[in-house]
Amino acid sequence: MSTLVVVGVQWGDEGKGKIVHLLGRRADIVVRYQGGNNAGHTVIFDGKHFVLHLIPSGILQPGKKCLIGNGVVVDPEALQEEIQFLEKRKIRVEGRLFVADAAHVILAYHRYLDCLREDTSHGKIGTTRRGIGPAYSDKVGRTGIRIADYLNPGLFRLLLERNLREKAPLLKRFGSLREIRRHVLKRYNSLRSFLTPYVVNGPEYIYKAAASRKRILFESAQGTMLDVDFGTYPYVTSSNPVAGGVAIGSGLSPARIDEVLGVVKAYTTRVGEGPFPTELKDALGESLRQRGMEFGATTGRPRRCGWFDAVAVRHAVRINGSNWLALTKLDVLEGVHPLKIAVAYRVGGKILKEFPSDRQRQAEAVPVYEEMPGFHGSIRGMTRYEQLPVHARRYVKRLETLVGAKFAMISLGRSREETIILDSKFPWKP
């Protein structure tokens, strides 16, 4: 058996979709363990462009099995839409996709509450408005509804009634209790029968897969800096994208995690509000956004762009234990000179080399930059490390040293072929 976790080590959108797709060829099972349809994993497959939100991207590879683990929050309507989208494109899903019965459901009122909080509170997060935060709040508040409860009509109606009554004062702006109940129940019967064949006991599924020595790839959504514990709290998502989340979100014993690969962009982006010390609010930031096509795969929002932040990535590499990294979008930096890397922060007259855990210092952090010469000419299409211009290679080496991990591959474009596989001991080398 061999298990690999692929995790983002910035603020999400590092290009995990392509990397999971590339490595997924060597997996038997691909598992999502946190998040929900807030994610947007872009994959080019057979010349076609796919954006997956909830279903692991392993589904695009014939013969692979996929699991949505108990740590994911599942919007039944969104899941049905995604399954139908894939089946229309002749990708068979039934019999290959499984959903843990302990995963919590996102219902219409979670989406309403997400919007309400975003529109009216002072602490706007810039969420995807998919109901993720409110669904996780219910989970830890012990009022959540799991898939198993959702499939049990008597119990579901009881729990729904209790939750609607509890949330009624907040929900009244969206209509009467009766209207909201009607909305939640509108497609309930058809969704329930649609979902039933996909549902399994998650930990049992994972345990049996591990016991029969299957190769399992865990696909994280979002990124370490959006982790509810280790990210820029409160400007984070409501789950644990870090590798430690795998055990909680799937039922795999932490003792059985073999490798962790971090995915990191050659510069930094973030969507939504919150601290971003290396953000470029100038023409260069705009140029990175255009050249890197930095627009949210889920919401279409423009992503904020900035220099590579080695302080944040080193923090993420340590938490994940990601000794291996995949570097993405190096080609977007073609012609940018000089290249800057944040190697520390200055906060209140002090130099900080570690990512601060409190919001005030995160907001006040001013990067201390190291400059390197940029590289020129097109590097797209290169497949060997030696082909890269010397200054590109120096940049890559410097990043490795600063963050304390080795690159196993460098991605120079969206398709599978546009990748340099480095000569390394990375056990899942494609």
* Positions marked active-site: 13, 41
Q: Name residue 123's beta-bridge partners.
A: none
How many angstroms separate the Cα of 47 from the Cα of each of 51, 161, 293, 362, 413?
Answer: 13, 47, 18, 42, 13
Shortest Cβ 243–ligand IMP spacing (Å): 17
With respect to ligand IMP, which residue has the nearer C-beta, 38 or 411? 38
With respect to ligand IMP, which residue has the nearer C-beta, 127 or 362? 127
The two structure tokens encoding residue 288: 């990175």
Please tell me the number of Cα atoms within 13 Å of 354 on its side-chain side.
6
Helical H segments across 104-152, by residue range? 108-120, 132-140, 147-150
Shortest Cβ 379–ligand IMP spacing (Å): 25
- CA separation for the pair 380, 49 (Å, rounded): 19
Helix (H, G, I), strand (E, B) or coil at 262: strand
With respect to ligand IMP, which residue has the nearer C-beta, 3 or 224? 224
Shortest Cβ 271–ligand IMP spacing (Å): 4
Shortest Cβ 13–ligand IMP spacing (Å): 5
Shortest Cβ 245–ligand IMP spacing (Å): 14
84 Cβ contact partners less than 8 Å away, ≥ 6 residues apart: none
- CA separation for the pair 183, 48 (Å, rounded): 35
Which residue's beta carbon is nearest to the bound ligand IMP? 272
With respect to ligand IMP, which residue has the nearer C-beta, 54 or 83? 54
278 Cβ contact partners less than 8 Å away, ≥ 6 residues apart: 268, 306, 307, 308, 309, 340, 342, 367
With respect to ligand IMP, which residue has the nearer C-beta, 137 or 152? 137
Helix (H, G, I), strand (E, B) or coil at 26: coil
Say if residue 57 is exposed, middle or buried (CB neighbours under 10 Å; 0-12, 13-18, 19+).
Answer: buried
Report which residue type is found at 241: P
- Give me the residues that bind ligand IMP (CB under 6 A), please: 12-13, 38-40, 125-128, 130, 132-133, 221-222, 226, 237-238, 271-272
- CA separation for the pair 390, 311 (Å, rounded): 24
Shortest Cβ 196–ligand IMP spacing (Å): 28
What residue has token string 């345990």? 207
